[in-house]
Copies of this chain bind each other. A is one copy, B any other.
Amino acid sequence: MIKSVNSISKKAGMAPGSLIHVGEPMQPESNIRLINYSEENIEEKQIQSFDEIVKYKESDSVTWVMIEGLPTIDMMTQIGKDFGIHPLVLEDILNTQHRPKFEAYDNYLHIVLKSLQSEDEQFNMTYEQITLLVLNNFVFTFKEKTDDLFQPIIDRIKTDRGHFRSLGSDYLAYAILDTVVDQYFILIDSLDKAVTSLEDTFLNSQSKEETPGTIRKIKKEIITVRKNISPVRELTVEMLHSESELILDKTHIYLKDVSDHATHIIDTIESYSDVLSDLLDIHATDVSYQMNDVMQILALYSTIFIPLTFISGIYGMNFENIPELTWGYPAIWAVFIAIPAGMIFYFKKKKWL
């Protein structure tokens, strides 16, 4: 995750706006779908050549161009030329290692998001970058790979004629934002399961040895997740305060809702982070207390035997005429029992045992 910045260094020295791919491509070839909808009509098709897209430019209805996988440099150049997108924005789209951000230009909005998916139980995450270009009646989305993330939106476009299809490209942009943020809730669901299971393991004292490693691993993932989600809240707030004419007043309440969700998610993630820090603290304290207990018990144990060993040493000396030696062997056993008993009694009284 932190390595995201590496390969960008190869651009050092190049002119700004140079269109080259940065980041490891997830899917080498791009797949382009187009949906054109208005309250009356809806049209969906697979795009082969860029010219097919351009002719929708004049249409009054909303056109959504979904580009999945790595777009070609040629296509980016054409989009730039035909839709008036700045070369630096095109450069950003080709760089899949970008921070989430929102930028308003005169005639379009540029939104960068990260879709997060947990691949397995170990929280090995994939971070897919999703870029939106929102023009008047035109939305481009760039995804790194083909999947069904946007399927629910397409379904709603098809079915929700009265509401969705009567609204403009800004509502479509909101719907995409909302879908990505809803994904985060699923992530948090599995995070919750992992943390709860850790807490249980912890309270039942099973396998404490392996716990700190797992906790640290999840904590590290949480930091990355937060780094990718936090800017989303900022960008929704920036969208709300943007004066762009592309965002209609009636869309504000929807953006505010997304912003609330993002806040909720970040709050929740921070709570989990705190819980994990606490678990690590408690673990360290417990290990140290337990270690102390063992050492103290062993020390007390040695302490009990020390005088006994000394006494046995005394009567192993070869002095002539040690009078006690004649008092009989059982007497020494009385001593060997009385001394530890006294010491144990004393330690118990002192609450050392």
Contact = CB atoms under 8 A, between A and B. Distances in A.
B5 A152 contact: no
Contacts of A178: 16
Contacts of A86: 253
Range of interface residues on A (Cβ < 8 Å): 35 or more
A176 interface: no
A159 to B, nearest CB: 9
Interface string A136-159: 000000000000000010001000
A178 to B, nearest CB: 6
A301 interface: yes
A52 to B, nearest CB: 29
A182 interface: yes
A292 B291 contact: yes
A117 interface: no
A9 B188 contact: yes
A299 B296 contact: no
A294 B301 CA distance: 13
A334 interface: no
List 9 tightest A-B contacts by C-beta distance, closest first: A312-B313, A12-B182, A9-B185, A315-B317, A13-B152, A316-B316, A9-B189, A319-B329, A298-B299
Given A284-B285, A318-B322, 16 more contacts: A9-B182, A11-B182, A12-B182, A12-B183, A14-B152, A16-B254, A305-B310, A308-B310, A312-B316, A312-B317, A313-B316, A317-B325, A317-B332, A319-B332, A322-B329, A323-B329
Interface of A: 1-6, 8-9, 11-16, 86, 88, 98-99, 101, 103, 152, 156, 160, 163-164, 174-175, 178-179, 182-183, 185-186, 188-189, 192, 195-196, 212, 216, 220, 223, 227, 253-254, 256-257, 260, 263-265, 267-268, 271-272, 274-275, 278, 282, 284-285, 287, 289, 291-292, 294-296, 298-303, 305-310, 312-323, 325-326, 328-329, 332, 336, 352
